[in-house]
């Protein structure tokens, strides 16, 4: 960032100061140091040169102070530490001059304008509420390093939130690794005419690839259309608005819509049962879809057992922000009941509900050869089983459903429920 543009000071010493002599004797060398010519200071009158209080004059005191380091100590020596009169009895804060709190030491005297210290050049207007995040704002005018300009850019606060390692390149006038701009390196001297999401991150951010189904806006979407996608999950401002600290955007944290339902990202109903998967895929050959429908969808054709709760195989968060949910890398962790195991490489399950098949070749989660889309008895056990649960041989029977029903009740509520039920 360039040093703030010095704007015109409001007339800073009363107009009468250039006309009326000092009623108290002054040190003539000090008078000359403050811009007075020898003829003006003769006789101890202490008058400043003509035009000292005239903003249109080359002798206006702004120019002198700028050329001499903006040091107000000499001003205070005559007009008082509070600039209310001092030994000369002439106030700097009356008759419309330096009326802001602090008098001549008001930030807007040098930075910005009469209403405040915000410089008007480059991207300052876009960062109106973030002064402390980019600069070491002095608590007093006389703080060391202030008027000498030894510190220009010092990133703190929001700029380094979430582990940001912000830096500013004075040669290219770019900011890097600033929290507020994610991975972008905006040029300070070239603020955009229209503020959009791309000023700080892509739409959606690259980190949202896992949630492509709900985070991808339509091609050539307007800023409003992009925001409409973002607002699915996040609390975001109106496109083009400048968010202030404490709002729900660019505030050092990720804010979510309250009470997000599972199917905001997962699946097609309130249970969140895929498909579609997080990335939008719907084919069972996709890991995110697989056999979810066969396990979770009550309307699945030819259902062979009761619907399985999501928590049977996964840790289900109570809230979208629970640790281990959004921050967990894909694929999701699978924890099967009764010491069952899942091989993420082969996608095979060794678990009680597939007990017979697991003993040989475990069923594959994304196997679309038939068991997922049209399950058969052999997806879980032999038909009929060779062994019963206690390891003893199963009674010989013909491989037809009617043979099973001779001994066992068969329905979605009585099958694959953890019990071996026999007809009375």
Given 61, 78, 110, the domain boundary residue is 110
pLDDT for 33 equals 46
Given 110, 127, 156, the domain boundary residue is 110
- Is residue 308, in this structure, part of any structural domain at all? yes
Specify the number of domains making up the chain. 2
Q: How many residues does the chain have?
A: 424
- Is residue 253, in this structure, part of any structural domain at all? no
Contact 126, 195 (CB under 8 A): yes
- Is residue 212, in this structure, part of any structural domain at all? no
Interatomic CA distance for residues 385 and 396, integer angstroms: 9
| Residues ≥6 apart with Cβ < 8 Å to 215 | 204, 208, 229, 230, 232, 233
Interatomic CA distance for residues 410 and 421, integer angstroms: 9
Any idea which residue has 């678990």 for tokens? 351
Bridge partners, residue 176, by sequence? 167
* CA distances from residue 69 to 65, 110, 168 in whole angstroms, order as listed: 6, 11, 25
- Is residue 254, in this structure, part of any structural domain at all? no
- Is residue 57, in this structure, part of any structural domain at all? yes
pLDDT for 149 equals 64
- Is residue 272, in this structure, part of any structural domain at all? no
Q: For residue 92, how many C-alpha atoms fall within 13 Å in the half-sphere facing its CB? A: 27
Q: What is the pLDDT along the chain (424 residues), one digit of tens a residue?
A: 444 433 333 333 333 333 333 333 444 444 444 444 434 333 334 567 888 888 888 888 888 888 877 778 888 888 888 888 888 888 888 878 888 888 888 887 877 766 677 777 888 888 877 888 888 777 777 777 777 765 578 898 889 988 889 999 988 999 899 998 888 888 998 888 777 777 788 878 888 888 888 888 887 777 778 878 888 898 877 665 656 666 788 888 888 988 888 889 988 888 788 889 998 899 999 999 999 988 988 888 888 888 888 999 999 998 888 998 988 888 889 999 888 999 999 999 888 888 776 556 788 899 888 778 888 888 888 888 888 878 889 988 899 989 999 999 988 888 888 888 899 8
| Count of C-beta atoms within a 10 Å radius of residue 350 | 17
Interatomic CA distance for residues 322 and 390, integer angstroms: 41
- Is residue 236, in this structure, part of any structural domain at all? no
Any idea which residue has 């507020």 for tokens? 180
Given 110, 140, 172, the domain boundary residue is 110
- Is residue 263, in this structure, part of any structural domain at all? no
DSSP code, position 393: B
pTM over 0.85: no
Burial classification of residue 374, based on how many CB atoms lie within 10 Å of its CB (0-12 exposed, 13-18 middle, 19 or more buried) = exposed
For the chain, the 3-state helix, strand and coil shares in percent, each to the nearest 5, are 25, 5, 70
* CA distances from residue 130 to 118, 151, 242, 289, 309 in whole angstroms, order as listed: 10, 16, 11, 45, 48
pLDDT for 405 equals 92
pLDDT for 22 equals 38
The DSSP element (H or E) to which 101 belongs, if any, is none
Domain residues for the domain of 26 are 15-110
Bridge partners, residue 341, by sequence? 350
Q: What end-to-end distance do the CA atoms of the chain give, in Å? A: 86
Interatomic CA distance for residues 265 and 280, integer angstroms: 9
Interatomic CA distance for residues 302 and 375, integer angstroms: 8
Residue 172 tokens, joined: 């290219």
């Amino acid at each position: 960032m360039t040093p703030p543009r010095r704007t015109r000071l409001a007339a800073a010493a009363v107009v009468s100061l250039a006309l009326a002599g000092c009623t108290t004797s002054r040190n003539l060398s000090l008078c000359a140091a403050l811009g007075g010519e020898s003829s003006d200071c003769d006789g101890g009158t202490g008058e400043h040169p003509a035009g000292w209080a005239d903003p249109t004059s080359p002798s206006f005191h702004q120019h002198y102070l700028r050329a001499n380091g903006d040091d107000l100590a000499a001003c205070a020596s005559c007009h008082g530490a509070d600039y209310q009169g001092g030994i000369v009895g002439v106030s700097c804060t009356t008759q419309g001059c330096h009326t802001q709190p602090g008098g001549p030491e008001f930030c807007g005297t040098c930075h910005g304008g009469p209403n405040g210290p915000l410089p008007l050049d480059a991207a300052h207007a876009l960062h109106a509420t973030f002064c402390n995040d980019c600069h070491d704002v002095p608590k007093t005018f006389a703080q060391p390093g202030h008027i000498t300009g030894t510190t220009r850019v010092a990133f703190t606060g929001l700029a380094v939130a979430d582990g940001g390692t912000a830096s500013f390149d004075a040669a290219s006038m770019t900011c890097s690794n600033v929290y507020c701009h994610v991975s972008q390196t905006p040029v300070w001297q070239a603020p955009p005419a229209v503020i959009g999401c791309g000023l700080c991150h892509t739409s959606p951010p690259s980190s949202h690839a896992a949630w492509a189904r709900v985070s991808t806006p339509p091609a050539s979407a307007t800023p409003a259309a992009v925001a409409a996608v973002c607002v699915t999950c996040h609390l975001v401002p109106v496109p083009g608005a400048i968010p202030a600290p404490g709002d729900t955007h660019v505030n050092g944290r990720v804010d979510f819509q309250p009470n997000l339902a599972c199917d905001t990202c997962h699946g097609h109903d309130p249970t969140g049962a895929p498909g579609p998967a997080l990335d939008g895929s719907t084919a069972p050959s996709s890991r995110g879809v697989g056999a979810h429908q066969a396990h979770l969808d009550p309307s699945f054709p030819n259902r062979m057992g009761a619907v399985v709760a999501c928590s049977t195989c996964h840790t289900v968060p109570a809230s979208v922000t629970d640790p281990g949910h959004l921050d967990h890398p894909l694929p999701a962790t699978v924890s099967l009941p009764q010491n069952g195991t899942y091989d993420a490489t082969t996608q095979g399950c060794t678990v009680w509900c597939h007990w017979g098949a697991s003993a040989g070749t475990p069923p594959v989660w994304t196997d679309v050869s038939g068991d997922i889309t049209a399950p058969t008895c052999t997806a879980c056990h032999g038909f009929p089983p060779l062994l019963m649960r206690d390891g003893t041989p199963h009674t010989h029977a013909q491989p037809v459903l009617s043979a099973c029903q001779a001994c066992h009740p068969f329905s979605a509520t009585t099958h694959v429920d953890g019990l071996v039920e026999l007809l009375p």
